[in-house]
Amino acid sequence: MGGSTPTEALNSLLPRCRRGDQEAFVEVYRLIGSSLYGTALRLLTRPQEAEEAVQEAFVKFYQKAESIQSGSLSGWLHRVTVNFCLDRLRSKGRQEEGLVEEPAAPAPASRPGDRIDLSRAVARLPRQARLVFLLHDLEGYKHREVAETLGITQGTSKSQLFRAREMLRGWLGSEVEETA
């Protein structure tokens, strides 16, 4: 597979996976596992839960390899991972309903040493704004895809992204690039 892109390499492994080739599954994991883990960790914030999300994605991949369209393996695995994470967050939300308040905004930074880092700031965002920000700005989803994934309208996706960026700007004391 010398010279091919990771996506091409993944897609070239799909026929072998469909035949049950265990080495091909291991190679798919080697090529994309860390990317899926990063996505899950950004959404769930706990390493053990992120590992569980990746495991779940690969279990589903193993079970459904024959039905995955050629050329879409990376997107399929990411979608399964994100959906698992969202289901986990919804489940947690129901368990914690009424117990969790929206996080208070930290005091504006007066010195660079006082500024919180981006990952901590993102973790402080209200749940829906955080999910929209992560899916849109970090995972590259379009507003239509964010809306479908989260079960919200495109307008809500856009307003939540604006809200997230504004909060991050205020907390970090610097410009968060506009990419909408």
Please tell me whether residue 33 adopts helix, strand or coil conformation: helix
CA 88 to chain centre: 13
Amino acid present at 43: L
Write the class of the CATH domain 106-172: mainly alpha
Q: Please tell me the predicted confidence (pLDDT) of residue 69.
A: 87
Asked if 173 and 115 touch (Cβ cutoff 8 Å), the reply is: yes
How many whole angstroms separate alpha carbon 92 and alpha carbon 37?
A: 19
Question: Looking at the chain, which residues constitute the CATH 1.10.1740.10 domain(s)?
Answer: 6-95
Amino acid present at 157: S
Predicted model pTM: 0.71
Fold of 6-95: Rna Polymerase Sigma Factor; Chain: A (1.10.1740)
Q: Going residue by residue through the chain (180 aa), what tens digit of pLDDT does each one get?
A: 455 677 788 889 999 999 999 999 999 999 999 999 999 998 998 999 999 999 999 999 999 999 998 888 988 999 999 999 999 988 876 555 433 444 444 444 444 544 458 888 888 999 899 999 999 998 888 999 888 888 899 999 999 999 999 999 998 875 445 444
Asked if 39 and 82 touch (Cβ cutoff 8 Å), the reply is: yes
Amino acid present at 62: Y
Instruction: Please choose, from the candidates 122, 126, 135, the residue with its C-alpha nearest in 3D space to the C-alpha of residue 168.
Output: 122
> pLDDT, tens digit, for every residue of 22-31?
999 999 999 9
Question: Looking at the chain, which residues constitute the CATH 1.10.10.10 domain(s)?
Answer: 106-172
